[in-house]
Homo-oligomer: A and B are copies of this chain.
Amino acid sequence: MSKKTYREAITEALRQEMEREERVIIVGEDVAGGAGGSAGGGEAAGGVMGLTAGLCTQFGRERVIDTPITESAIIGMAAGAALTGLRPVAELMFADFIGVCLDQVYNQAAKFRYMFGGKARTPLVVRTMIGAGMGAGPQHSQAIYPMLTAIPGLKVVVPSTPYDAKGLLIQAIRDDDPVIFCEHKGLLGSQGEVPDEPYTIPFGKAAITREGTDITLVGISRMAVLCNEVADRLKKDGISVEVIDVRTTSPLDAATILESVKKTGRLVAVDEANPMCSVASEIASIVASDAFEYLDAPVKKVTAPHTPVPAAPNLEALYLPTPDKIEVVIRDLMDF
């Protein structure tokens, strides 16, 4: 156990799984970096955010494969490799780029097993960066996991802590189904205790990160961090908030959420995505269906507005859910 950043936790998970299993390979743009450059090759970057740094040196360019900028070919190649015996971890640099390769994810990888009558295994992991807050503008800041959560055959992982990032990524790599692993760029530098040895965290098991009795607050990815902050803040005012970090949006741990709401009678779901057809909407609909009798107040969600992500930092700050916005909704519900 030692303090590590989210970024380090991810790199460590990749390294340990590559050490454990030869068939784990990494493919993507600049995942090694420097191929063909005038400096004479060698490891140049390890990804734009350095998350695969050092892996090419350790495992060689046969297992850490730089590709052209062709996401359909990257994800498709990884899916085809997964279908035939490798365990590829493909990097989709920014999740916003899903638009140029969605077919290979949703019509191909996610459907193989079903379409082929249960005979396929597709141990594919797509690591990708989500989220706003870095001034990266409308095409590099989106939280696109809701549309992926909707896709049968896919699993969607949204870790909020270094500990979860490592354990869930190792699970993703060992998992025999296609997994989208969403790394929030606003969390890369965040720190936490992370065991040095490999471990897995099962999919579909939410984490209760704060116990409480007055209201249930469900957070996704970086929003879970905000939820904890709000819970700690409100505790001082005597409002007991239970915080649930979903960890994976597919499978979604409805049981833990429902159990909590049955206790608290109130729900707020916090999602960085746009509001319509969001995971927050999904959670709200499940609670309104299956815990209706226990509800003491309307079911609420806090999300980004129905707008693209603006480039201007002041607008981007307004765009994002914040502890203050969440607090207002909670206080309203407590007064209901």
Contacts and interface: CB of A to CB of B under 8 A. Distances in A.
Contact of A111 (B139, B276, B295): B139
Interface stretch (A37-45, A48-56, A142-150, A206-214): A142-150
Contact of A277 (B104, B137, B281): B281
B279 A288 contact: no
Given A114-B308, A150-B273, A308-B111, A289 B280 contact: no
Contacts of A103: 97, 99-100
A65 interface: no
A138 interface: yes
Contacts of A104: 99
Interface residues of A, number: 56
- Count the copies: 2
B285 A289 contact: no
Contacts of A152: 274, 305-308
Given A138-B115, A288-B284, A289-B299, A274 B308 contact: no
Contacts of A100: 72, 102-103
A130 interface: no
B102 A99 contact: yes
A59 interface: no
A195 to B, nearest CB: 32
Contacts of A139: 107, 111, 115
Interface in A245-286: 250, 252, 273-274, 276-282, 284-285
A317 interface: no
12 contacts: A97-B103, A99-B102, A99-B104, A107-B138, A111-B308, A114-B310, A115-B137, A150-B273, A277-B277, A284-B284, A287-B288, A289-B301
